[in-house]
C-alpha cells in the first residue's frame, strides 16, 4: 500500500503520459526488490500497454529472481499485443534457457517457439538475426533416422526460402548461405547416387567386396580402371 501511495504521490499533479516522469519511475523500479517494483511496472504498463521497453524490464526483473511462473504470465499478456523484436527476443531467450537441458524434447519445444515467433514478427525488417538463429537451430538438431534427416533438410530449405523473400538487412547473406546449402545437398546426393553421366573411375585396390555389394544393391554404375 505504501508503494502505491508513493507512486501516486510522485505522479500527483502530472499528466500520466509524461514521458520524463514515466522514465523516472522505470529507473526507480530497477533498484527496488521485485515485490516493490511490481506495482510500478503495473502502473507503467497500464499507461503504456505496448511499450516493449517496460515489458522487457518487467520480465528481466523476474528473470533475475528466477520467477518462471511470473515470466510466463507476463509473456502471455504482452506478446501478441506488442510485436516488437526486442520483446520477442527476450521471450525466445527465456524459452531457450528453460529448454536448454531437456535434450531432444527441449530442442523441439524451442523449435516450436521459433515457429511461433516468426509467425508474428518474421516479416519485420529487423528479424534477420532471428531467422539466422532459427536456421542454425535446425542445422544443429539431431536426426536419428533417415526420415528425420529428410525432414530436417526440408525444414532448413523452407526456412531459407522464407528468409530470402523477407525484406531484412540480411537478405544477401541468406541468398549466399542458401546457395551453399543447396550445393552441399547436391554434392551429398551425387556421392550417394552417382549417375551414369557422372561415373567415378576407381582404382581396383580401393574397392573391396563390401563396396561392390553396396553398389550392386543400389544400382549404381561403377566403371573400374584397372591398374
Range of 31-45, 138-152, 209-223 with top mean pLDDT? 31-45
pTM: 0.74
Reported as a single tens digit per residue, the pLDDT across 102-125 is 888 899 999 999 999 999 999 999
Confidence of residue 86 (pLDDT cuts 50, 70, 90): very high
Residue where one domain finishes, among candidates 154, 171, 186: 186
Instruction: Examine residue 77 and state whether it is found in any structural domain, yes or no.
Output: yes
Assess if residue 11 is contained within a domain.
Answer: yes
Give the CATH number for residue 173: 1.25.40.10
Q: Are 77 and 114 members of one domain? A: no
Cβ burial of 72 (10 Å; 0-12, 13-18, 19+) is middle
Tens-digit pLDDT profile for residues 1-13: 444 544 554 445 4
* Per-residue pLDDT reduced to its tens digit, 206-215: 334 444 343 3
Percentage, residues of the chain above pLDDT 90: 67
Residues spanned by the domain of 30:
1-82
pLDDT tens-digit readout, 164-200: 999 999 999 999 999 999 999 877 765 665 554 444 3
CB within 8 A of 96, min separation 6: which ones?
110
Looking at residue 189, what is its pLDDT?
A: 67
What are 96's three cell numbers?
531457450
Give every CB contact of residue 163 below 8 A, 6+ residues apart in sequence: 128, 131, 135, 170, 171, 174, 178
- Residue owning grid cell 547473406: 173
pLDDT of residue 207: 34
Amino acid at each position: 500500500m505504501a508503494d502505491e501511495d508513493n507512486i501516486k504521490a510522485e505522479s500527483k499533479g502530472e499528466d500520466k503520459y509524461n514521458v520524463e516522469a514515466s522514465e523516472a519511475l522505470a529507473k526507480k523500479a530497477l533498484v527496488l526488490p521485485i515485490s516493490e517494483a511490481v506495482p510500478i511496472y503495473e502502473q507503467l504498463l497500464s499507461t503504456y500497454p505496448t511499450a516493449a521497453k517496460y515489458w522487457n524490464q518487467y520480465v528481466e526483473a523476474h528473470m533475475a529472481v528466477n520467477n518462471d511462473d511470473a515470466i510466463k504470465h507476463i509473456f502471455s499478456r504482452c506478446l501478441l499485443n506488442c510485436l516488437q523484436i526486442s520483446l520477442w527476443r527476450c521471450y525466445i531467450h527465456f524459452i531457450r534457457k528453460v529448454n536448454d537441458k531437456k535434450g531432444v524434447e527441449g530442442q523441439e519445444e524451442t523449435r516450436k517457439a521459433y515457429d511461433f515467433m516468426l509467425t508474428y514478427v518474421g516479416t519485420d525488417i529487423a528479424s534477420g538475426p532471428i531467422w539466422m538463429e532459427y536456421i542454425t537451430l535446425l542445422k544443429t538438431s539431431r536426426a536419428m533416422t533417415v526420415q528425420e534427416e529428410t525432414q530436417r533438410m526440408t525444414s532448413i530449405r523452407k526456412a531459407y526460402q522464407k528468409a530470402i523473400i523477407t525484406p531484412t538487412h540480411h537478405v544477401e547473406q541468406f541468398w549466399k548461405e542458401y546457395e551453399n546449402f543447396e550445393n552441399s545437398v547436391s554434392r551429398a546426393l551425387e556421392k550417394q547416387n552417382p549417375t551414369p553421366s557422372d561415373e567415378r573411375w576407381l582404382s581396383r585396390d580401393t574397392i573391396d567386396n563390401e563396396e561392390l555389394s553396396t553398389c550392386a544393391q543400389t544400382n549404381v554404375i561403377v566403371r573400374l580402371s584397372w591398374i
